[in-house]
């Protein structure tokens, strides 16, 4: 029973990495089994189909959001606006560390699979929502520095949009320049939003 959980975990973790690096369709069950050091009997004991394994991987990503993505940044940065840019910088460093093969695993799967399987699409959307909820919370914590009429939910969605689009271009160009360009523009946008706020406080 203890060993079986270890095997299941190893299968999910191996599949997670391979789906990330190669995509879902391009990753064969045989490769997952080989790299996880397991046999097909074990995999199909836990997961009736390859797609069930994918769903478990997407559940794992939901569980990893706070401990692996947000909390390491939040532990080092307290200012809520800087937390947003700290999260973005973590993705930037991930790109550099993986020589532009990394990026965002959810984004990859979103474009590959959003049409195919409804349940999978729902889990991808839930991963996005978990991410933007955290960004949204940062923006709410900095509400007094932003114009009162800013739609913070919309702005949080925009932050994810910018991150995903920037990662995509960096992978195509194998360069961090598109990311740096995107962050520079997003930072400029935030600066202008916060400048307006400080003006309206003075004049109001």
Partner DNA sequence: GTCTATATATTGATAGAC
Partner DNA sequence: GTCTATCAATATATAGAC
Which of its own copies, DNA, none binds 176 (CB below 5-8 Å, type-dependent)?
none
Query: Position of tokens 């947003």?
Result: 84
Q: Considering the rule CB under 8 A, would residue 189 count as an interface residue with its own copies?
A: yes
Q: Considering the rule CB under 7 A, would residue 4 count as an interface residue with DNA?
A: yes
Q: Which of residues 40-99 bind DNA (CB under 7 A)?
A: 40-42, 44-46, 48-51
Which of its own copies, DNA, none binds 45 (CB below 5-8 Å, type-dependent)?
DNA
Long-range contacts for 88-96 (Cβ within 8 Å, ≥24 apart)? Answer: 88/159, 88/162, 88/163, 88/183, 88/186, 89/183, 91/163, 91/167, 91/179, 92/176, 92/179, 92/180, 92/183, 95/167, 95/170, 95/171, 95/176, 95/179, 96/176
Q: Which stretch binds DNA (CB under 7 A): 32-40, 148-156, 181-189, 192-200?
A: 32-40
Residue whose CB is less far from DNA, 60 or 187:
60
- Least Å from the CB of residue 108 to DNA: 16
What tokens appear for 43 in the block? 């995999």
Residue whose CB is less far from its own copies, 83 or 136:
136
């Amino acid at each position: 029973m203890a060993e079986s959980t270890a095997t299941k975990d190893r299968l999910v973790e191996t599949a997670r990495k391979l789906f990330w690096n190669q995509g879902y369709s391009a990753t064969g069950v045989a490769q997952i089994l080989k790299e996880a050091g397991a046999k097909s009997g074990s995999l199909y004991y836990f997961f009736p189909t390859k797609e069930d394994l994918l769903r478990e991987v997407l559940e794992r990503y939901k569980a990893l959001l706070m401990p692996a993505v947000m909390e390491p940044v939040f532990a080092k940065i307290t200012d809520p606006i800087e937390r947003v840019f700290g999260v973005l910088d973590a993705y930037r460093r991930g790109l550099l560390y993986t020589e532009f093969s990394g990026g965002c695993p959810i984004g990859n799967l979103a474009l590959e699979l959003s049409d195919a399987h409804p349940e999978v699409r729902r889990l991808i959307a839930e991963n996005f929502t978990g991410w933007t909820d955290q960004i949204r919370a940062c923006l709410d914590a900095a509400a007094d520095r932003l114009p009162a009429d800013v739609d913070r939910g919309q702005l949080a969605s925009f932050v994810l949009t910018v991150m995903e689009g920037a990662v995509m271009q960096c992978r195509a160009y194998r360069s961090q320049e598109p990311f740096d360009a995107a962050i520079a523009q997003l930072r400029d946008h935030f600066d202008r939003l916060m400048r307006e706020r400080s003006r309206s406080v003075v004049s109001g």
